[in-house]
Chains A and B, each alone.
Chain A
Amino acid sequence: MESIASFSALAAGIMIGLGALGAGVGIGILGSKYLEGLARQPELDGVLAPRMFLMLGLTDAVPIIAIAFAAFLMFANPFLDQAEPAESEVSAETAE
């Protein structure tokens, strides 16, 4: 039971961390290309800006899904209930 909880906490941390890494690198590259394009042709601001926000949302999607799953793991962990019948079986055996 404790090992499941601790592994879940570790998993949640890794999910959020790696997601943040991917999102950070991706959005950094996206933003730098946008600024470079804007610096070369400032009149394209109305065309480039919506596209950039669209790409931002798409790049952000999987890391945020990972955050949602990590939050789910933190507050309503499904693995804890799956382990309980096995735990009670083991404790019943050791009691006998």
Chain B
Amino acid sequence: MTKIDLKSERFREFLAEAEDILNSMGKGLNKLGKGVKAGIIDPAVLNGIFRSAHTLKGMCGIFEFRELADLSHCLEDTLDLLRLGRAALTDEILYSIINAHDLMAKILASKGSGDFAGEIEGVKAGLSRVHVKKTRPKEEFAKEFISVLTEYEEHRLRESLREGRNIFVVNVRFPITSFDKGYMALTELLKTESEVIATLPSAKTSHDLLFFDILIGTSRDKAFISGLVKEMADPEIRVLAEPSPKPDREPMLEVIKGTGQQSSRNGTLKRVSNTVRVNISKLDYIMNIISELGILKSSISALSTELKGDGEFSVYGLELSRAEKNLERKLSELRDSVLDVRMVPIGQLFGRFDTFLGKLAREAGKEIRITTRGDDTELDKLIVEELSDPLMHIIRNVVDHAIEAPAVREALGKPRTGYIALSAYQKGNHVVIEVKDDGAGIDIELIKEKAISKGLVESEYAGRLSRLEALELIFMPGFSTVDVVSETSGRGVGMDVVKENITRLSGIIDIDTVKGKGTRFLLTIPITLAIIQALIIEEAGRRYAVPLNSVVEILELRPSSLATVDAEGSITVDGRTMPAVRLSRFFGYPPSGRETAYGIVAGLAEHRLCLVVDHLVEELDVVIKPLSRMIKVSGIAGATDMGEKGTLLVLDVTGILEQVMREKKSGALKTAGV
């Protein structure tokens, strides 16, 4: 393997950029795949994919990332033949291209470690199976242009004619100082209504003007295109060819003179995209400052309260408190807007599954279609990345285990094509992601049998497990219902990894299944982990931060109150019974022995837990930082720095909830304890 300095800033940038390119290539492949099915191939999409491969090849060359360079080179060759129309885009070729894309993503993810030589050879063989058509003899047509066009441009010109579109030459001139902006804006505009086939520098010259001939193919007529671009550059448009009712008519040539003056007055020359790439660690740094400001603000608040109580300075106290309120408002605006910057639509992630699923289904010999909903639901960038693996795993499982083979489905009276629906929606401070299929559903009895045969649960307890408890078994390490290890799932990792990943994000998984009808996985994930509103509590002399997004309600527990904790460790509030745990006991500290206490009812999705603590202290915005890799404690999500007030541990309510449930069930399950 090539030696690469993994730490260097440039290499990191390369990785990020390469990832972006592969992402956009993936999106292009999606569109292309749909196009192939529908029989319409958008040349711009094909060309876009080709360009991605080309750019990637160049970048990999610079970084001596040979495997990737080699593969992208091969891919580029195949795509080149396709975009030039010298080979037909068949299903097989599309599949090879998708394979190449996936392998490149894999190589990139390995950051240069790992050996992919075998896989690369396989993919390259697939790519080379492209059938090259015989090139047609060149026709005598619009010689003045043909001679200077590249093969691709010529191909596009012919295709446009064949499809019966008008060919125009837009002759424009731009001041030499700003021609790039003007040109960009004009082509962007033209692209909305036409295909820009080629741009040729014109023979005309002037000391301060640049002339271009832009060759376009469009289904609009000349008047329309003139109208479209008049505002922009007021150019001169020439009709090179118009399709005729009779196919053998001579191409018509017409020249229209215009005034030709680029206008920069109307402000449309701005670049369409105004984005800045920011390293997420820089945003983390801003987050840290915001949280420090929050702590400073709370000391100002304490000072103003003190001043208000002081007769002599109470006026200043009031003033200070008013100023502090304004500061608070601005701070929360600042926090929200920085959080907003980190948000990305989950569609970015959903899009990846489209290609991935096609490949999986093909390999498993199944027919599956996927729909997505709520693509624009936003989540923290880091969370979206962390969700990729668990979701991919769930989908793999659905393809392998849930969706039946087409023949089986027909026999069951279901449509041949299986169906997976991915959807996302926001629910308070959380996002719910749903993966729904119309497959076989999960057979609870089969799950129990498997768990017994694998020694995960004693047979005598298995009978007593509730439906939900039995479903939980699929998340246990070592559980897999298929004995034959398929190529996609069953590589020694299973749903336990999914569970672990989701738990790490302070999220929770629920399953809903109907035998024979299908299964629904519900992932409830917090929108962000970067900065959170927290309730600072005190228990047995130690302070902790509890994320407010998981707090449902707070109870005051007095010895006489109705809500008391029974011997089983449960509490009943408004007729609803939930497990209750004294925080000090959970952590193994001696409790303070106070009589009054507070019950923090925490909940995620449908689950509830009452956490009993001594005091409530205050509410604060805190930035969660991970504890060291050296320390892993369930029930603690991380820590937050409070400046002079020291460091506070941030509780992971999901972790505590799961640990409590697990301890309650430990009689039934042998290996669940971690």
Bound pair (A, B): no
Where the two chains meet, the residues of B that have a C-beta atom closer than 8 Å to any C-beta of A are: none
